[in-house]
Amino acid sequence: MGKTSKDKRDIYYRKAKEEGWRARSAFKLLQIDDKFNILHGVTKAVDLCAAPGSWSQVLTRRLNENYEKLKEAKSDCTLIAPKIIAVDLQAMAPIEGVIQIQGDITNINTAEQIIAYFDNEQADLVVCDGAPDVTGLHDMDIYIQSQLLLSALRITLRILKPKGTFVAKIFRAKDVTLLYSQLKIFFTSVICAKPLSSRNSSFEAFVVCRDFNLPEDFNPDSLDTSISEFSKLKGVNGYIAPFVICGDLSQPDSDTSYPLDFEGQKFEYCKPTQSPINPAYEEAISLLSVINLGKDSASCTLQGSSMTIDDF
Ligand code: SAM
């Protein structure tokens, strides 16, 4: 089935178009907000990895609705209008009321630009729907995704106000508990949310982290510290795991090439204790057409090529 017919069958894809959202992802944030009420009382928000902009649209619509309701109820002209900053590698069509920064969230300069825009004020909410271009190599995709999340967290630690909220895309993979533990250092509540609009077949989910609280003595700058400065950091900022060498100096060094006849012992070839069960080169060997029969295997060649068996 082609892409078009699949898209047509996707209710959220259709609804997004009907309701004027730039992407179906809008429903993920809407459903997270319906469940956790994360947008309540928010006036300053940062949308990381925002393009094409459906989460920024959700933020503008809901924050402005809240603002108008409050204004009506309180007739208070000192109320501050919502401020939203959207960041992405890609250029994004403008959205009224949203300040845009085109930049890489893994780059410290981007973090500094966001901070400058906030002009020493703090955000109530940081969201990140960042996703790398999927390579199809699962371990690689999961690793890059977790690095994006940590970059988003680095920015968050600098700009989120105490008790603030952080929401970010996460891939539920083998080592996801490590990420949860890292987030739990900074937030009282860390919940893994799967909105109904996020496909079941996808291992994508969202961490909803609430009640931000920077541990005492924790210095967010330490996350950007160079190795040379690292040793100056104290306590929670500069923990280094002990490094222990196992074995003593009388044993051979694994990086050195030794002669075959080593320490008076004559070299004798030994078969592997256990050959690979399903080696990657098996298919190549089965395709190998041995010519020049009767010759030593080292001189066998692949039909139509100059490769010898030693090339495997
Ligand atoms: N939330 C968006 C929306 O609702 O329209 C969709 C976000 S899309 C799934 C993921 C975005 O992450 C892409 O636009 C991509 O450019 C962005 N991205 C990936 N790596 C990034 C990085 N290092 N810095 C900034 N943006 C990044």
Q: Over the stretch 199-217, which tens digit does the pLDDT of each residue have? A: 888 889 999 999 999 988 7
- pLDDT tens digits, 111-151: 889 888 887 789 999 999 998 888 878 888 888 898 899 99
Pairwise CA distance, residues 64 & 72, whole Å = 12
Quote the ligand 1 centre to 27 CA distance (angstroms). 16
pLDDT score at 91: 92
The crossing angle, in degrees rounded to 10, of helices 138-159 and 176-184 is: 10
Ligand 1 atom showing the smallest separation from residue 104 Cα: 24
Task: Say whether pLDDT at 85 is over 80.
Answer: yes
Ligand 1 atom showing the smallest separation from residue 22 Cα: 5
Which segments of 96-159 does DSSP mark as H helices, in order? 108-118, 138-159
pLDDT score at 286: 76
In the chain, the N- to C-terminal Cα span, in Å, equals: 40
Which residues form ligand 1's pocket by a CB distance below 6 Å? 22-23, 25-26, 49-55, 88-90, 104-106, 129-132, 148
- As a whole number, mean pLDDT of residues 66-82 equals 81
Task: State the number of CA atoms in the 13 A half-sphere of 206 facing the CB.
Answer: 29
Residue nearest to atom 23 of ligand 1 (CA): 104
**Mean pLDDT of the chain, nearest integer:** 81
Quote the ligand 1 centre to 228 CA distance (angstroms). 33
pLDDT score at 261: 79
Task: Say whether pLDDT at 273 is over 80.
Answer: no
